[in-house]
Amino acid sequence: MGLESPAPDALAIAVDTVQKRFAVIGANEILTAFQLYADGTLQVDSKFYARLNLKTLGEVLAAYIEHRREVAAAIIRSRDEAERIESETKAQAEKKAAYDAAFPAMLQGFAGQWGDIPPHWYESAIRLGLMPAPDAETKKAIWSRAKQLAATEAATEAGEHSNIFAYRHALRLLEDGVTIENKAISISKRLLIWQFFFETKNLDV
């Protein structure tokens, strides 16, 4: 490392210091510590001018121990995070598999009206191959009906607000079409499920 040869007494003190105060550091790690110090990774107060200096030696090794501890902690955190993600992914996959297995029975046992159908059933039914994706003509017809129902539903909800400010806010949402658009999307999914699976019950929408 380009160090000047220390006096025998100084070297003996340095060796004794390392053995007693830094016993957790292996011999090969001392070189690593000074390499990290040289490239600026380790920051210490003292300066090292190619001469054995016990104060700088101690500071460098102490800084290295802290650095090693931080690296080890980061590795543990990364491992724990990976295990958490793996566990959550597995739990979600199991939950999805259980839902997929139960979904046909949920459809078969449904006894409500079209408005009681969860909108996500539409994606589930198509994904599981229980119904085909609707053609363009069907989508157009359902969307037209859904917009009418959404407009009626939104207007009814706006009229139910007793607070004038809430009422005005609801009216603004109606005017910009946000409420109706969102409602129509949800309603159209319900109607598509209703039409494919339950229309034979002859219950009018």
23-34 pLDDT, tens per residue? 888 888 988 998
**Sequence letter at residue 162:** S
- Report d(CA 129, CA 107) in Å as an integer: 13
3-class SS letters over 31-93:
HHHHHHHHCCCCCCCCCCCCCCCHHHHHHHHHHHHHHHHHHHHHHHHHHHHHHHHHHHHHHHH
- pLDDT of 202 reads 46
- pLDDT of 54 reads 77
- pLDDT of 2 reads 45
Q: How many Cβ atoms are within 10 Å of 60's Cβ, its own excluded?
A: 23
The model's pTM is 0.61
- pLDDT of 86 reads 97
Report mean pLDDT in 10-residue bins for the chain, 205 residues. 54 73 84 88 76 78 92 96 96 96 95 93 96 94 92 70 56 60 91 90 47
Q: Cα–chain-centroid distance for residue 162?
A: 39
| Segment 99-137, tens digit of pLDDT | 999 999 999 999 999 999 999 999 999 999 999 999 999
